[in-house]
Amino acid sequence: MTMQDSRVITYGVIGCGMMGQEHLRNIALLPGTAIGAIFEPDAAMRARAAALAPGARMVDSVADLLAHPGLDCLLIASPNHRHVEQLQAVAAHRPLPVLVEKPLFTQASDAAAVAELAARHAAPVWVAMEYRYMPPVARLLEMAQEATGGIRMLSIREHRYPFLSKVGQWNRFNRYSGGTFVEKCCHFFDLMRLALGSDPVRVMATGGQALNHLDEVHDGRTPDIFDHGYVAVDFADGTRAMLELCMFAEGSRWQEEISAVGPRGKIEAFVPGPTRFWPAHLGDPPVAQVVVSPREPRGPQVHVIPVDPTLLDAGDHNGSTFYQHRGFLELVRGQRDRPDVSVQDGIWAVRMGLAAQTAMIERRVVEL
């Protein structure tokens, strides 16, 4: 290991709510890292962040954080609608490498500004699409070409629990989150582009708000966030993908199920939800699987994909946050040339989510 490889990398963190705290727990698992400064305006979240990173200085603004000496990189894990303004502040005052939580932005009008920002930012920007790094999803992506002979159809299903409670309940409202198919499903649209190696040209969708949060009132307003839907996407190379989302299905054994099919056969990934939500009376939580089903000779081949319990305990995303941070750390150390997830990838994921919501609301096909 070179001297550059062994030096301690110090992070500045903007936003330490539920996801920010998951980031802190996973950064702590990586040797040669430290948290230098944290900006978190909510007192309760600030206290939790301080307990997870006792050596960090708590600051009162983004400007104060950017003025903190000794930072090597930045993490933005604030509410969705703050990402663009905070990225702009970073670009203007302290252009360090950034890992920014998804979604990259929440309104179509921000896309051009984000692209311009990335073009002039002097350091790499990595968009946090951690679902790529879930061990069963990573295995599916690794094996898909051989198993399918080239994916022609891709299906993703997420059956999960409703949105969790967050500071100010910002995730209950489209104006702050970007809407469910931006906030939640940008992960799946990113996976579609990654798995298929093509860009979308057409989005068809139906969905809405059937059950969740309709009995809640926050600051005089009822949540308007969608809780279910179907999205079909046509890609430029003629491949097709489908997303099925249900956010009132917390009794499911598998939270995500991904199926890719081609001329040679099918490959599937089965991913359990967070271990902390698995009912104790059911015994040990399920372990992720990848199943390969060739057309000939027939017969499913089951691959069990265990995940280190330490990583499962550090977050709610099947260990993926750790692997994402390991890659980002390599980028900061100069051991990688570019981010795995570019700003352009982040823009496409949001565009697809916004198109899906437009298709649902306006009941029409959206061309991209």
Percent above pLDDT 90 for the chain: 97
Which residue, 34, 35, 33, 82, is CA-closest to 61?
A: 82
Percent of the chain past pLDDT 70, that is, above it, reads 99
Q: Are the C-beta atoms of residues 227 and 209 closer than 8 Å to each other?
A: yes
* pLDDT tens by residue, 231-267: 999 999 999 999 999 999 999 999 999 999 999 999 9
Q: SS in 3 state form for 251-289?
A: CCCCCEEEEEECCCEEEEEEECCCHHHCCHHHCCCCCCE
Residues with Cβ within 8 Å of residue 290, at least 6 apart in sequence: 136, 139, 140, 143, 267, 268, 269, 270, 302, 303, 305
Dump pLDDT digits (tens) for 52-108.
999 999 999 999 999 999 999 999 999 999 999 999 999 999 999 999 999 999 999
pLDDT at 4: 54
34's CB contacts (< 8 A; 6+ apart) are 8, 9, 10, 11, 55
pLDDT at 58: 98
Q: Mean pLDDT over residues 120-137, rounded?
A: 96
Categorize the per-residue pLDDT at 206 as very low, low, confident or very high, splitting at 50, 70 and 90. very high
pLDDT in tens, 138-160: 999 999 999 999 999 999 999 99
Of 203, 199, 130, the C-alpha closest to 364 is: 203
Q: Is the pLDDT of residue 2 over 50?
A: no
Look up residue 281 and give its two tokens. Answer: 């009376």
The encoded tokens of residue 210 equal 């059937």
pLDDT in tens, 290-301: 999 999 999 999
The full set of domain ranges for the chain reads 3-130, 133-314+342-367
Domain covering 3-130, topology: Rossmann fold (3.40.50)
CATH number attached to the domain at 133-314+342-367: 3.30.360.10
As a whole number, mean pLDDT of residues 323-347 equals 98
Residue 1 has pLDDT above 50, yes or no: no
Report DSSP letters for 126-160, one per residue: EEE-GGGGSHHHHHHHHHHHHHHSS-SEEEEEEE-
What's this model's pTM, rounded to 2 decimal places?
0.97
pLDDT-derived band at 116 (thresholds 50, 70, 90) equals very high
User: Same CATH topology for 3-130 and 133-314+342-367?
Assistant: no
- The pLDDT value given to residue 3: 43
Which residues touch 47 (CB under 8 Å, ≥6 apart)?
Answer: none
